[in-house]
């Protein structure tokens, strides 16, 4: 799933300053699961913003809506009726959702309420951690199902750097060393010898470095 975190109220207040009628839009998928931008968060944020505006002696009107996904036209289109008389849309979706709304409503101001972090796993309740960096050419088969691109702070592909200690990464004792995890997994599945091979330089052209990615399935297009 995609994980995101709400910006500080202070920052959101500044972002919406000058707009008097806001459509606050939640998203019912990833950001609902990570408690950042679902229906409940929409309600809380909208009332916080109204209150803050009131404290400044001004008025803010909010319309609250949550759609199943902000990244699919089918759901985005459900907002059409609510758009007209709003000055701006405050999206509580991930970065993709914000842009989905902006593309669908080209004459409307669309503002982000969240900071999108990446693709992650719910490790346990309340803890999400990045697992994939979307490099566009998955090599998990070579690393026992642990991604060195996303989980090693230096995206090393040939083993741990000299800062790996007690299973933790040199940059932060809270962060697991991705390479210790690779090593442990490869050992557990009896494939340590695979790690003896020198991994050749990676082709990053399939990653963001090669420009914005897209997938075009002619067979599926209308």
Partner 1 sequence: MKAGSNLERVLEAGHFAVTAELGPPKSADAKVIHDKAETLKGNCDAVNITDNQTAMVRMSSIAAGTIALQHGLDPVIQMTCRDRNRICMQSDLLGAYALGVRNVLCLSGDHQRFGNHPQAKNVYDVDSMQLIRMVKNMRDEKKFQCGEAIKVEPRFFIGAAANPFADPFEFRPIRLGKKVAAGADFAQTQLVYNVEKFINFMEIVRKMGIHEKIYILPGVGPIKSGKAAEMMATTVPGLEVPDEIVQRMKKAEDPKAEGISICLEIIDRVRQIPGVAGIHIMAIEWEKAVPDIVQRAGLLPRPVIEVVEEPQEPPAQKPA
Binding region for ligand SF4 (CB under 6 A):
132-135, 138-140, 147, 149-150, 152-154, 156, 160-161, 163-164, 169-171, 177-179
Residue closer to partner 1 by CB (options 48, 203) is 203
Told to check if 153 binds partner 1 by CB under 8 A, we report yes
Nearest to 49 by CA among 15, 83, 97, 85: 15
Phi, psi of 51 (to 5 degrees): -65, -45
Class of residue 85 by CB neighbours under 10 A (exposed 0-12, middle 13-18, buried 19+)? exposed
Taking the complex as a whole, the smallest distance from the CB of residue 14 to partner 1 amounts, in Å, to 21
CA 59 to chain centre: 32
200 binds partner 1 (CB under 8 A): yes
Between CA 117 and CA 62 the distance in angstroms is 27
Residue 204 binding: pick among partner 1, ligand SF4, none (C-beta 5-8 Å cut-off by kind): partner 1
Binding-site partner at residue 139 among ligand SF4, partner 1, none, CB < 5 to 8 Å by type = ligand SF4
The residue among 199, 198, 197, 165 whose CA lies nearest residue 179 is: 165
List 73, 158, 191, 210, residue binding partner 1 (CB under 8 A): 158
Binding mask 160-199 for partner 1 (x = CB under 8 A): xxxxxxxxx-xxx----x--x--x-----------xx-xx
């Amino acid at each position: 799933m995609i994980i995101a975190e709400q910006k500080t109220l202070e920052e959101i207040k500044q972002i919406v300053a000058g707009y008097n009628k806001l459509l606050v839009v939640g998203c019912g998928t990833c950001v609902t699961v990570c408690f950042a931008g679902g229906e409940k968060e929409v309600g809380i944020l909208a009332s916080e913003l109204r209150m803050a505006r009131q404290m400044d002696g001004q008025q803010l009107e909010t319309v609250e809506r949550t759609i199943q996904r902000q990244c699919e036209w089918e759901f985005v289109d459900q907002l059409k009726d609510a758009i007209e008389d709003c000055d701006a849309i405050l999206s509580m979706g991930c970065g993709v959702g914000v842009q989905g709304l902006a593309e669908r409503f080209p004459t409307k101001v669309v503002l982000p309420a969240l900071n999108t972090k990446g693709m992650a796993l719910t490790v346990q309740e309340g803890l999400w951690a990045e697992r994939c960096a979307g490099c566009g050419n998955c090599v998990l088969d070579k690393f026992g199902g642990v991604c060195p691109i996303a989980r090693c702070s230096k995206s090393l592909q040939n083993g741990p750097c000299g800062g790996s200690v007690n299973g933790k990464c040199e940059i932060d004792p809270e962060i697991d060393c991705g390479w210790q995890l690779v090593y442990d997994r490869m050992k557990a599945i009896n494939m340590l010898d695979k790690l003896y091979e020198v991994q050749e330089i990676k082709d990053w052209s399939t990653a963001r470095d090669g420009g914005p990615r897209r997938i075009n399935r002619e067979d599926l297009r209308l």
